Amino acid sequence: MVAPRRAREASKGVGQGVLMDRFKSLLSGQSLSGQSLSGQSLSGQLLSGRLLSGRLLSGRLLLPPVFLVPVLLVLALLLGLTDSFAQDEEEEEPPVRLGQISVSFYAVTGQVVQLVLERLDHEVERSTGSHSAIFPQLGQGSLDLLVAAWLPHAHARYWRQYGGDAVELATLYDGAQLFWAVPHYVPVSEVASVEDLKKPSVSNRMSKFIRATKPDSGLSMGSKRIMQAYNLEAYGYRLQTGGHSQWQRNFERRYAVRDWFVMPYFQPNFLNQMAQMRKLEEPRNLLGEANRAVLVAHKKFVDNAPERTVNVLRRIELDLDAVAAMDYMVRIDRLSARGAARRWMSANAERVDAWFAEEQSEEDADYR
């Protein structure tokens, strides 16, 4: 088990102190085992010419005089330094490799996890990428932690393929869900389900352009299945994948003029704090039921990480409102993901401190 960074620095200081003690012993006439060098210090023997003449302890000539002093100094260095270097290498702690999906609500959640790790005195090496880019890194063992897998439905395909050497470490929040939605001003008497999109009275008024998110997201892949299962293309509907910024702009533009439109949607979602969207019924359940957003860890990390670190990570617990609030800070207030996470954690300090229960120290409180 590796030691935290503070422990490494302390041990390094101890090793340097031991080395200095060894040099002092040599200069005072003590051997590395603590025995006297014929009652004289090293400097005294040099002055007396005993070492220069090649005589040491037994009086036997070991090396030609001109080589003897440099060889002894090199040996002393090697004896002192190799132990310290070996100890430092053995205790060297690699950074925690944290992966997150490159969407803002994953980013704020990932920053909460990173701040927790830093409070535990870990260095963090963060990687971001799309679903199809980040999950394979978990499977290859090049990530220690991933934020976050939506299980058991939304990310089931990725989990089956890449989760064999990973474990669920903590449920960061519950109730994460994918679905199709319409604005609240679209009458439920007209549009209550995906099937209703084919009604002539609805089809004639509803925008046929449906903006989805990135093509490798669970939301877009499930939306393609909905398009096929309900034969919506035959009624003029067209699904277009794209980035989350495009998805957001499409929503803002249409909502502002009260268009009738349908969109692939999800929660937690910062839009819930600025608009009302209504979930459509979808009897075939092609986007799945509610999910748990799980912090997953590679098995090697769980086996090798400090027990305290694993225990604290297991206690991290957010909720839909917390994630949506942090996401709003990023998308609307223009904070960084780290800034949003810091603000939320400071405002909920008692809740955060509970994650460190039974392991609290005065130093831990300095993270704020």
Domains of the chain are: 5-91 (no CATH), 96-368 (3.40.190.10)
Using alpha carbons, list the distances in angstroms from residue 364 to 96, 187, 317, 353, 368.
Answer: 18, 52, 18, 9, 9
3-class SS letters over 7-22? HHHHHHHHHHHHHHHH
Q: pTM of this prediction? A: 0.73
Residue 368 burial by Cβ neighbours in a 10 Å radius (0-12, 13-18, 19+):
exposed
Distance CA 263, CA 131 (A): 20
Q: What are phi and psi of 284, to 5 degrees?
A: -80, -10
Whose structure tokens read 């299962």?
Answer: 229
One-letter amino acid of 339: G
Which pair of structure tokens corresponds to residue 350? 């008692």
- Residues comprising the chain, all counted: 368
- Answer for the pair 306, 7: CB distance below 8 angstroms, yes or no: no
One-letter amino acid of 193: S
Distance CA 363, CA 228 (A): 56
Which pair of structure tokens corresponds to residue 99? 């992966």
Which pair of structure tokens corresponds to residue 319? 């909720």
Task: Map residue 144 onto helix, strand or coil.
Answer: coil
What does the buried/exposed string (b/e) look like for 131-170 if buried means 16 or more CB atoms within 10 Å of the residue's CB?
beebbebbbeeebbbbbbbbbebbbbebbeebbeebeebb
Nearest to 113 by CA among 124, 103, 104: 124
Each residue's pLDDT tens digit, 22-48: 444 544 444 444 444 444 444 444 334
Which pair of structure tokens corresponds to residue 226? 């909905």
pLDDT at residue 21, as a whole number: 53
Low-confidence ranges of the chain (pLDDT < 70): 1-91, 359-368
- The DSSP secondary-structure symbol of 4 reads P
Beta bridge partners of 60: 56
Distance CA 12, CA 258 (A): 65
Each residue's pLDDT tens digit, 129-164: 999 999 999 999 999 999 999 999 999 999 999 999
- Answer for the pair 5, 93: CB distance below 8 angstroms, yes or no: yes
What does the buried/exposed string (b/e) look like for 55-76 if buried means 16 or more CB atoms within 10 Å of the residue's CB?
bbeeeeeeeeeeebeeebeeeb
Whose structure tokens read 């299945």?
Answer: 225
- Answer for the pair 137, 129: CB distance below 8 angstroms, yes or no: yes
CA dihedral 169, 172, 218, 291 (to 10 degrees): 90
Which pair of structure tokens corresponds to residue 136? 């394979």
pLDDT at residue 92, as a whole number: 73
Q: Any residues with CB less than 8 A from the CB of 92 and at least 6 apart, and which?
A: 2, 8
Task: Map residue 213 onto helix, strand or coil.
Answer: coil
Q: Any residues with CB less than 8 A from the CB of 121 and at least 6 apart, and which?
A: 4, 5, 6
pLDDT at residue 358, as a whole number: 73
